[in-house]
A and B are shown apart, each in its own frame.
Chain A
Amino acid sequence: MSAWKRSAQSVVLLGAFVALSVFVGCDPGNKGVSPGPVQLQGAGATFPNPLYQKWLSEYGKLHADVKIDYQSIGSGGGIKQIKDQTIDFGASDTPMKDEDLKSAPSELLHIPTVLGAVVITYNLEGVAQALRFSPDVVADIFLGKIKKWNDPRIAADNAGAKLPAADITVVHRSDGSGTSGVFTDYLSKVSPEWKEKVGAGPSPSWPVGIGGKGNEGVTGQVKQTPNTIGYVELVYAVQNKLPVAQIKNASGAFVEPSIDSVIAAAAASAANTPDDLRVSITNAQGAQVYPISSYTYILVYKDQKDAAKGKAVVDFLWWGIHDGENFAKDLHYAALPADIVKRTEAKLNSITAGGIALRK
């Protein structure tokens, strides 16, 4: 009996010890008012991650007193964590929905950082020229209504191309992704049937096709499987030299995806961009516009709780939309147009801590 009593005691003691060590180990890095560097934590979208990592390393060289960490956990995670206030800034490829904004503890600002685009890629033997697609054709291929490569509607846009009589295999993202969000947002705008049957979202219910995980999964399956069609981010397509299709835009011109045609989409949409900068720029008007383009955003609270951290966030973002934009082109992102930079400046200037503006 006594042996059991003692072993019970040792269990309790050990349990306490384990609990204590777990507790200490999980200290959430609250440095309190220590005079060390300001620590910022960001998380969210994966698409701008290469650029943000570049920003962090460049900004770190200039400001040794600020330590910033960014984790690319996905837009959904970014929105959730900024709403839970476990991070200092979030990031999302698609603007937050009204109901998400309402359920946040206080007003959240959308700070656009760069632009990206979704491109259509394919694997079709014996076709040398870049394929061209009208919006309704893209929608009907992804709806499964156009089943063969030699369909007269595809042929109508591609005079001279030897299209095979093969079945089209659609490849889409299987993981929830801003890329799918932008693509389905576009398809919902150009096809009423798509809007009604499928709708827009990061993980839609695809009518046909096979799913690949990530850009690399989609690319792998498109490259390996003949007669496939899929979509990936512009950055990814450029780096991997994938064949990309030209898409007919809202003004009736076939446009190749490029940094310039993406910036054109942002510039063309600047006039009807609302005050909070939450805007979808897919299917924009303009001869040079690539229609499947979008902003990516950083999310910050307008009223910052901690003045030191708040100031560090604002300074970092200010640097990002000015000096940081210079790194965009090398990494194949499209930089913000000048008037959007101006309007973003105003947003950053409006950020306060305890009622006091943090910029100057």
Chain B
Amino acid sequence: MLSPTGNTGDTIFRGLMLLVALFVVAIVIAMVIALASDSMLSIRQFGFGFLTSSQWNPVKGEYGALPFIYGTVVSSLIALLISVPFSLGIAVFLVEQAPHYIARPVGFLVELLAAIPSVVYGLWGIFVLAPFLRVHVEPPLARWLGWLPFFQGSITGIGLLTGGIILAIMVTPIISAVVRDVLAAVPGSQREAALALGATKWEMIRVVLVNGAPGIAGAVILGLGRALGETMAVTMVIGNRPQISASLFDPSYTIASAIANEFTEATQDLYLSALVELGLILFLVTFIVNGIARILVWNVTRKTGGVSRAA
């Protein structure tokens, strides 16, 4: 603002950067406007009931989003539940414990996982993961934990649990790569201080983790974003059935899958509008979940007075 030189190059550069930054904002606003205006028909028809109805029947013109919201949120939560401990373990191992000649190739492999196209994950899910779960994982779960409502019902290998596990595998490389960078950024003096005070290696790692907490939370948010919006791989293993069932063995449906599945043959205007409104809801769900996560991060940062900054 107080630029004294008035250098032309600086001015152009600043304008360019401003434009680029504004472009992102403009795209977000344009998308919300487009989604909202195209879903007007459905919003007028169903109002708030769209969010609370479990009926999704295009033949009869009944549309309700609740099963899709449920499927999206629960599959993403399962994914985080599984992938966060794994990712933390991978990152701690790579940063604190592994010798260089192991850390490098393993780190590379983890990042490679992030580059696999999601349709490949989906095919692997159908042909390898689902049969494996059906034969080796779900029957023991049903036998030992069958008293819980989550592990009841018929076992097909296709359903909410499989969708969550596929998502977990997909977000693990993202979370672990970011956490690794966060841990690496924690100053070495902290480790030395902890060790000098007589801390064991595990106690030292705890100090590092606490210091990196805001960054770790940021990594989890990033993974969550990926899980909420993932379409192809989930579609292939989740069973695509708009229902709310406590059992993780039962088929479910996510918002992104529903749009991808039904958009091509949606001929009536109301049908199309309902699908666009689903898109709008996914936008809002992502927004709300991100908001909650950020508040959590902020709280953690305040409590620990963390050194590294939130991602």
Contact = CB atoms under 8 A, between A and B. Distances in A.
Interface string B11-24: 11011101100100
A225 B263 CA distance: 27
Contacts of A225: 130-131, 134, 156-158
A3 B14 contact: yes
- Assign chain B's interface to a size class: 35 or more
B104 to A, nearest CB: 37
Given A175-B262, A221-B158, A7 B11 contact: yes
Given A3-B14, A205-B56, A217 B264 contact: no
Contacts of B158: 210, 221, 225
Interface stretch (A59-67, A73-81, A135-143, A338-346): A73-81
B15 A220 contact: no
Given A176-B262, A204-B59, A211-B251, A3 B6 contact: yes
Interface string B269-291: 00000000000000000000000
Contact of A217 (B11, B14, B18, B126): B126
A7 B22 CA distance: 13
B37 interface: no
Nearest to A99: B268
Contact of B16 (A2, A10, A198): A10
A201 B59 contact: yes
Given A76-B264, A174-B257, A206 B126 contact: no
A80 B271 CA distance: 13
A198 B60 CA distance: 8
B235 interface: yes
Contacts of B264: 46, 73-74, 76-77, 175-177
Contacts of A23: none
B228 to A, nearest CB: 19
A76 B267 contact: yes
Interface stretch (B86-94, B195-203, B211-219, B236-244): B236-244
A164 interface: no
A205 B61 CA distance: 10
Given A204-B59, A220-B127, A175 B265 contact: yes
Given A76-B264, A175-B264, A14 B154 contact: no
Nearest to A6: B11
Contacts of A209: 241, 251
Given A167-B154, A210-B241, A7 B18 contact: yes
- Assign chain A's interface to a size class: 35 or more
B78 to A, nearest CB: 18
B1 interface: yes
Interface string B50-62: 0000011111100
B261 interface: yes
Interface string A113-142: 000000000000000000000000000000
A204 B159 CA distance: 20
Contact of A206 (B127, B159, B241): B241
B266 interface: yes
A27 interface: no
B129 to A, nearest CB: 10
A176 B56 CA distance: 13
Given A79-B267, A169-B156, A210-B156, A201 B261 contact: no
Given A14-B15, A74-B264, A224-B130, A210 B239 contact: yes
Given A210-B240, A210-B241, A211-B240, A224 B126 contact: yes
Interface in B1-47: 1, 3, 6, 8, 10-12, 14-16, 18-19, 22
Nearest to A79: B267
Contacts of A76: 264-267
A199 B263 CA distance: 20
B1 A174 contact: no
Interface string A181-222: 100100000000000001111111110011111000100110
Contacts of A175: 260-262, 264-265
Interface string A284-326: 0000000000000000000000000000000000000000000
Interface string A41-55: 000001000000000
A204 B240 CA distance: 12
**Interface-central residue, B236, B265, B267, by most chain A CB under 10 Å:** B265
A175 B58 CA distance: 12
Given A6-B11, A220-B126, A221-B158, A211 B265 contact: no
Contacts of B263: 176
A122 B218 CA distance: 47
Interface in A1-49: 2-4, 6-11, 14-15, 46
A201 B58 contact: yes
A9 B14 CA distance: 11
A37 to B, nearest CB: 29
A181 B11 CA distance: 60
Contact of A198 (B59, B159, B257): B59
B239 A202 contact: no
A257 interface: no
Contact of B58 (A3, A14, A204, A212): A204
Nearest to A72: B264
A2 B7 CA distance: 11
Given A3-B6, A225-B130, A225-B156, 7 more contacts: A3-B14, A10-B15, A206-B241, A209-B251, A210-B241, A211-B241, A224-B126
8 contacts: A10-B11, A10-B12, A10-B16, A74-B265, A174-B240, A175-B260, A203-B58, A211-B241
Interface of B: 1, 3, 6, 8, 10-12, 14-16, 18-19, 22, 55-60, 123, 126-127, 130-131, 134, 154, 156-159, 235-236, 239-242, 251, 253, 257, 260-267
